[in-house]
Every structure is written in C-alpha cells, then in structure tokens.
Amino acid sequence: MTKYILKRVLLIIPSLLLVVLVIYSLLTFVSFGKPFSLSLYRGDFLDKIFEFFHVQGGFFSRYVRYCWNVIVRLDFGSSAQTGMTITEELMPRLGRTMLLTVLSLITAAVLGIPLGIGAAMNRNNWQDNLASVSTLLLSSVPSYVLTIILVLIFALYLGVLPVSGIENWTSYIMPVIVTSMGSIAETTQITRSAISSVMNRQYISASKGMGIPSRQLTYMHILRNSLTPIISTLARNAAAVLGSSLIVENFFTIPALGSYLIKAVNDRNFTRVLGCSFVIAAALILINFAADLVNILIDPKLRASISSGKAGEV
C-alpha cells in the first residue's frame, strides 16, 4: 500500500513537468517566437551544466531553470505590470477558484447521489422517469444560457443575489449552480447504474431476507459498495467543473484564476499564463490523486489487489 501511494506521489512531478513543457513550448514557438522573462538564479551548479552542454540562455536552459525555480523555490517569476511575484498574485485567486470548484463538486454529490438512489430504488416508475428527464435537461443546457437565466431571475427580477464580485457567501450561489449542473446530471446517472448493479447481487437479496431495515440496507450496504464509480465520476468531473468555473468567474467578475488567466492572455503576459496553467494542472492532479486514495480506503478488493501487486487488474 505504502509503495503504491509513494509511486503515485512520485508520478506527480513528471506529470507537472510535462504540462509545463507543453505550455512553455507553445508560448515560446507559437507566440511568434517571442521570449518571455523568467526569474532566473545564477551562480549555481546549473550554470556549469548549461555551460558544459553550450545551452546557456536557450530554450532548454530556460525551461530547466523555470522548473527548478517552481519546484524547489516555489517561484513562478514576477509580473512586469505590477512588479509583484506571480505567487503573490496567484494565491488569493487560487483560493476562490478552488472554493468554487469544491462547492460545485459537493453540490453535485449532495444532489446527484440521492437522486440516483431514488431513481434506482424506483426503477421504471415516475421517480425514475423524472430523474432521467431532469438529468437530460441539466446536461443539455449550455452554461452560458443557464447563467443568463439565473441572472435575469435572481439578480434583475427578484434582486436577491449579487451579479458580480465577491460581496459575501451569496456571491457564490449562482456560480456554483452553473458549474455543478452537468456534474449533478452525470452523478445521478452513474449512481443509478451503480446502485442498480449492486441491488441485483445475491448477498443483497439474502440481507433483505434477514429482515435488515430498508434504509440501513440502502446506505450501509448498497451505497457503500457503489461508491467507487461514483467517486471516480466526481473526480473525472473535477476537470470539467474547474474549466467551467474559469469561464463562469469571468462572467460574474469574480477575482479568481479565470479572470486572471484571461487577462494574462490578453496582455500577452506569458509568465502569468505559465504560472496559472501550472497551478491549475497541479490542482487537477491532486484532486484525482485524492479520489484514488478515497477509493482505496473504501474498497477492500482494491486494497487487496494493490497489496498483492495486481492493481491494474481491478
């Protein structure tokens, strides 16, 4: 188990380095070959290595320098517009984006799982049909259309929710609704499928015959054995939710990573773009890593396969 977790942790670094390489290459070669300044450290052993291979100041040396600064010193460079470091600019914005993403995933779980359970327990009844139609509508409505509808109703007509900025906790209500709709629909469908599959197993029928209360059977046995695909779905949706939140933040003028990244692209501030992209990629990798750990904790078969070195067979 420990060996498997350590291996997954060690894979995070090459994954991030690959992301930086792709984005760094695009910014260097696609953006008309315009180089961008990075916060470089001189006088260390890297200089001797670059000098030995005659790559001082080239693409390779600047890439290695940047990765070294980020991983070892947590230095993403500085912004020419503000004079502040990218780290100082990113941290408060990162907190708002991650809060919006986490709230959206929690909303998807809180609403999608009970809807999926209800649909599975009442298959082919009106509850199941209603859940199917609702999830189809939720997954079909574009986020910008839903955003306009919510703004018209709750901001302009009713006047109960703010339409822009971060005034208080109510400023997150409409953005969370918009970013979580697609995840709610998919979570509902996956939960229904997983619950239906577990309900057909023999030990569930035996448990019913033993007189175990229906609620206890549903939440302590059926749902518990269905959590692995549900958690995997939520983790997979994290990328979509995070990407959607970047757009929604810009619409609602929330001072977070979305507006920061778009402004950096418009200003051709490549140092900001690279730093923001690195942080977003790191967040996605860590979310998926956390989901894998949760699956290991709740799935005895997965733990056993990892301990026996056969994790790839599960």
Q: Which two tokens stand for residue 47?
A: 């200089």
> How confident is the model over 13-36, as pLDDT tens digits?
888 889 888 888 888 777 554 555
Q: Are 231 and 294 in contact (CB under 8 A)?
A: yes
- The predicted structure's pLDDT at residue 85: 84
192 or 128, greater pLDDT:
192
Phi, psi values for residue 55, rounded to 5°: -125, 25
Would residue 100 count as lying in a domain?
Answer: yes
Collapsing DSSP states into helix, strand and coil, what is residue 33?
coil
Would residue 68 count as lying in a domain?
Answer: no
Domain that holds residue 304: 95-268+286-313
CA distance linking residue 225 with residue 227, whole number of Å:
6
CA distance linking residue 91 with residue 85, whole number of Å:
11
CA distance linking residue 240 with residue 82, whole number of Å:
31
The closest of 286, 304, 299 to 230, measured between CA atoms, is 299
- The predicted structure's pLDDT at residue 203: 63
Q: How far, CA to CA in Å, does 263 sit from each of 88, 256, 272, 273?
A: 16, 11, 9, 9
Other C-beta atoms within 10 Å of 133: how many? 10
Would residue 16 count as lying in a domain?
Answer: no
CA distance linking residue 263 with residue 250, whole number of Å:
10
> How confident is the model over 146-157, as pLDDT tens digits?
888 888 998 888
Q: How confident is the model at residue 183 (pLDDT cuts 50, 70, 90)?
A: confident
> How confident is the model over 34-90, as pLDDT tens digits?
555 555 555 567 777 877 777 777 778 888 888 888 887 788 877 777 778 888 888
Q: Are 195 and 116 in contact (CB under 8 A)?
A: yes
- The predicted structure's pLDDT at residue 106: 92
- The predicted structure's pLDDT at residue 206: 67
Would residue 46 count as lying in a domain?
Answer: no
Q: What is the number of domains present in the chain?
A: 1
> How confident is the model over 290-305, as pLDDT tens digits?
877 877 777 777 777 7
Residue 248 maps to which CATH number? Answer: 1.10.3720.10
Give the mean pLDDT of 205-222.
68
Would residue 295 count as lying in a domain?
Answer: yes
CA distance linking residue 273 with residue 38, whole number of Å:
12
- The predicted structure's pLDDT at residue 130: 82
